[in-house]
């Protein structure tokens, strides 16, 4: 089947998730709760992408013929930022182990959150 990600037509199969197809085609989507090789839990919603005007978690959404996906739309980026802020609120602005490269902190910086980790 064929889908479109960020205006690029891509060949894929129905067993794949949006995230898997994106990764295979060097399209980066940030993830937090997703662990390759394990069933997606879809709890953090950091990996949201826009599909036909809807926001869907790319780690658990299987591709469908003709899907038009935008990983960097304004809507997707805003949702990603809000979801990160919600996770950061629980995070209390301190890293669990003083590790400044903590994954959530890296994502926060990537989405433009100024909170110090």
- Are 103 and 44 contacting, i.e. CB atoms less than 8 angstroms apart? no
- Binding segment for ligand FES (CB under 6 A), chosen from 8-16, 27-35, 84-92, 108-116, is 27-35
- Are 30 and 47 contacting, i.e. CB atoms less than 8 angstroms apart? yes
Q: How many chain residues interact with ligand FES (CB under 6 A)?
A: 12
47 forms part of the interface with ligand FES (CB under 6 A):
yes
Q: What Rg value do the Cα atoms of the chain yield, rounded?
A: 15
27 forms part of the interface with ligand FES (CB under 6 A):
no
What does the buried/exposed string (b/e) look like for 66-85 if buried means 16 or more CB atoms within 10 Å of the residue's CB?
ebebbbebeebbebbbebbe
Q: Which is nearer to ligand FES, 42 or 115 (CB)?
A: 42
Q: Which is nearer to ligand FES, 58 or 117 (CB)?
A: 58
CA dist list (Å): 29 to 37, 80, 81, 93: 17, 10, 13, 24
22 forms part of the interface with ligand FES (CB under 6 A):
no
44 forms part of the interface with ligand FES (CB under 6 A):
yes
59 forms part of the interface with ligand FES (CB under 6 A):
yes
80 forms part of the interface with ligand FES (CB under 6 A):
no
Residues that bind ligand FES (CB under 6 A): 31-34, 42-47, 57, 59
């Amino acid at each position: 089947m064929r889908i479109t990600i960020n205006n690029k037509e891509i060949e894929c199969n129905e067993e794949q998730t949006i995230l898997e197809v994106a990764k295979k085609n060097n399209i980066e989507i940030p993830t937090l709760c997703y662990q390759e090789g394990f069933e997606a839990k879809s709890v953090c919603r950091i990996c949201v992408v826009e599909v036909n005007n809807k926001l869907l978690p790319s780690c658990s959404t299987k591709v469908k013929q003709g899907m038009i996906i935008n990983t960097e739309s304004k809507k997707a980026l805003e949702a990603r930022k809000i979801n990160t802020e919600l996770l950061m609120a629980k995070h209390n602005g301190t890293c669990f182990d003083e590790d400044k490269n903590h994954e959530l902190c890296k994502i926060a910086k990537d989405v433009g959150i100024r909170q110090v980790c």
